[in-house]
Structure 1
Amino acid sequence: MGCRRDWLVVCIILNAWLWQLVHGSERYYARDLLDSFVYDYALKKLHRPRTGKLYNVVLPANFSGMEVSVVRLRARRLWKNGSNYNSSFAIPPWVLPWPFTKRVDLVYQNLGNLSSSYYNVPNYTFVAPVIGFLTYDPNRSSASYGLIELKVVSDDPIIVRFPNISTHEDGNVTMKCVRFDINGTLEFSNMTVKSSCIVRRQGHFSVVVPYQPNQAIRKNYWVMGIAAGVVGLVFLVVIGILAYRWIKGKRIKKMERSSERSEGLDTIWVGRSRMPFASGIRTQPAIENSYLP
């Protein structure tokens, strides 16, 4: 039964993914299903995880490229020490789960090459993968209802680190931190710390830049235009030469037909042209005086 349920959840995720390709506004629905599936799948794989130990979860092949890890913590330890189990997230002390529970499960995600399949930012381009963390109450029976919040009581924020930010061609473009809320809303903020974003709530995060057409393609447009112009010029020259030869041939044929209608002259071939030749009717020379001195 458990195996069947796993495949059923996978089918639901895939169907939701196909649906969001057609209806972009419903994409956050696929995200919720993905989050629930990841946590439910992790609990089944880990059975009884030890408190304070980070576990890496290997997902099915359908989600290759996505990284997931889970750590179970006591609320009092989270309040006292925070959490630095994942190198991408630094959760400060003085943080409490809400609603309160004695233990929490922190689920870290890195969507990798699946980022654009589940998340998008209109008029912006990702320069880093979508990463995130969510907090669950392990005492809840359902993963969907087990999702809870973290309350940051201190002034210290949560730091989200992005070690693999793609270098953008235009160095003058300002990178923006973006947070994807569970309800599908977007929150933008400036990247005040190099390769890091400062936040105060859980969720999914990434770094984006304003969308711009590929600079290399735009630079190649003029090269393609020049090449097309040269080809067009050569074509016109060839057409002009052929037209000139055709007109010249028509004129020569017209002259030949006209000469044939006027006098019966012999003809000879000069190269590829037939020319009139009047050898038989040429006036012969005559002596003016009939006697010789």
Structure 2
Amino acid sequence: MDSHHLSLTWVLLVFLALPTKFAIQAHGIKPTRLLDLAIRYYTFKSHNNFKTGKLYNINLPSNFAGINVTTVKYRCGSLKRYGASIQEFNLGVGVDVHPYVERVLVVTQNLGHNWSNIYYDNYNQLLGYQLVSPVLGLLAYNAGDDSRFSIESEVKISSPNVNGIKIDFSNHTTKKNDTLHGKIQMCATFGDDGNVTLQKEVAPNICATTSQGHFGLVVQSPILLPERKKIKRWKVAFGSAFGAAIGAFLLGLLLVAMFVKVKKKARLEELERRAYEEEALQVSMAGHVIRPHNVNNNPHHHPR
């Protein structure tokens, strides 16, 4: 199954996992965003009241097998003063929440190696690169009683420091094959605008950022791009040859039809010519036929 079919399958699984009303509202949203909305839905559905400072593991439906989700509720003031460490993410001192709310629910995602491909399929800038880690996500939602915002409203976590938020991939890197061995790992940040930002690691298997989002480790894989181009050229060549064959076949049918029509017309003309000649011959011969006289009607005839 190719990547395009896998992407469609994932989207279908997300829709099947969501309530009908929610799925209808999510129609037209890109697959990566739809996945975030589904995870948010099941995160808030799993508990009626999250306790501040307690780590929760979120149980997702079987359709989302391979995805690990955890969440912790913080007071925004405490989060800014002390920072926090949640799974693979380290939020340094000074992180801000925008817009400001009293309490924030921080959600981390580990999409695993299967679901991470949904990002590879939907970000064309990754052509020529290969994921060597699962995609890890960091998102935040309003968890307070602020009347300006509804519960589950998405908020943004950011840091004024360049390396204010760090992501540790040490426990999630895949073993590289001979083709990828020795390649330099890069940190990939998947933006909401569909763009990918590549940066160097700040330490082995550790990336840094200034805001929440989705992140992964990639290595350059020059072999992948020519293969895709080769397949595309093969498809174009096959399509051209197939189109030419169809065109030749249709042209052949047209020529045969024209030939049959000409032959039929010539045959009709020949039949008409023969019929005309036979009719003319009969008329000509009629003028030379001697009709016998009726002797009974001849008054000068006397029998002997």
Question: TM-score normalized by structure 1?
Answer: 0.61
Q: What CA distance in whole angstroms lies between the structure 2 residues aligned with 1:101 and 1:15?
A: 29
Q: What CA distance in whole angstroms lies between the structure 2 residues aligned with 1:5 and 1:116?
A: 19
Query: Do 2:66 and 2:111's aligned partners in 1 also have CA atoms closer than 8 Å?
Result: yes
Unmatched 5+ residue regions in structure 2? 1-15, 225-304
| 1:149 counterpart = 2:156 | yes
Q: What CA distance in whole angstroms lies between the structure 1 residues aligned with 2:24 and 2:119?
A: 14
Query: Cα distance, 1:175 vs. partner?
Result: 1.0
Q: What CA distance in whole angstroms lies between the structure 1 residues aligned with 2:40 and 2:130?
A: 28
Secondary structure in 2 matching 1:201: coil
Structure with a larger share of its residues in helix: 2
Give the alignment of 1:144-293 within 5 angstroms.
Answer: 146-154=153-161, 156-162=163-169, 163-168=171-176, 169=178, 170-213=180-223
Letter of the 1:198 partner, please give it: A
Q: What CA distance in whole angstroms lies between the structure 1 residues aligned with 2:195 and 2:46?
A: 32
Distance change in 2, residues 1:54/1:9 (3 Å): farther
Give the alignment of 1:54-65 within 5 angstroms.
Answer: 54-65=55-66
Secondary structure in 2 matching 1:51: coil
Q: What CA distance in whole angstroms lies between the structure 1 residues aligned with 2:162 and 2:189?
A: 19
Secondary structure in 1 matching 2:86: coil
Unmatched 5+ residue regions in structure 1? 17-27, 215-293
Match for residue 95 of structure 2?
A: 95
Letter of the 2:19 partner, please give it: W
Secondary structure in 1 matching 2:117: helix
Match for residue 281 of structure 1?
A: none
Secondary structure in 1 matching 2:116: helix
Secondary structure in 2 matching 1:84: strand
| 1:107 counterpart = 2:107 | yes
Aligned residues: CA RMSD? 2.7
Query: Cα distance, 1:95 vs. partner?
Result: 1.0
Distance change in 2, residues 1:188/1:173 (3 Å): same
Secondary structure in 1 matching 2:43: helix
Match for residue 273 of structure 2?
A: none
Match for residue 129 of structure 1?
A: 134
| 1:7 counterpart = 2:19 | yes
> What is the aligned counterpart of 1:138 among 127, 143, 155?
143
Query: Do 1:74 and 1:104's aligned partners in 2 also have CA atoms closer than 8 Å?
Result: yes
Q: What CA distance in whole angstroms lies between the structure 2 residues aligned with 1:116 and 1:12?
A: 24
Query: Do 2:55 and 2:72's aligned partners in 1 also have CA atoms closer than 8 Å?
Result: yes
**% identical aligned pairs:** 28
Q: What CA distance in whole angstroms lies between the structure 1 residues aligned with 2:115 and 2:72?
A: 23
Distance change in 2, residues 1:11/1:119 (3 Å): farther
Question: TM-score normalized by structure 2?
Answer: 0.59
Secondary structure in 2 matching 1:78: helix
Letter of the 1:96 partner, please give it: D
Distance change in 2, residues 1:154/1:198 (3 Å): closer
Query: Do 1:93 and 1:154's aligned partners in 2 also have CA atoms closer than 8 Å?
Result: no
Query: Do 1:110 and 1:130's aligned partners in 2 also have CA atoms closer than 8 Å?
Result: yes
Distance change in 2, residues 1:155/1:211 (3 Å): closer
Query: Do 1:13 and 1:33's aligned partners in 2 also have CA atoms closer than 8 Å?
Result: no
Distance change in 2, residues 1:213/1:155 (3 Å): closer
Q: What CA distance in whole angstroms lies between the structure 1 residues aligned with 2:218 and 2:175?
A: 11
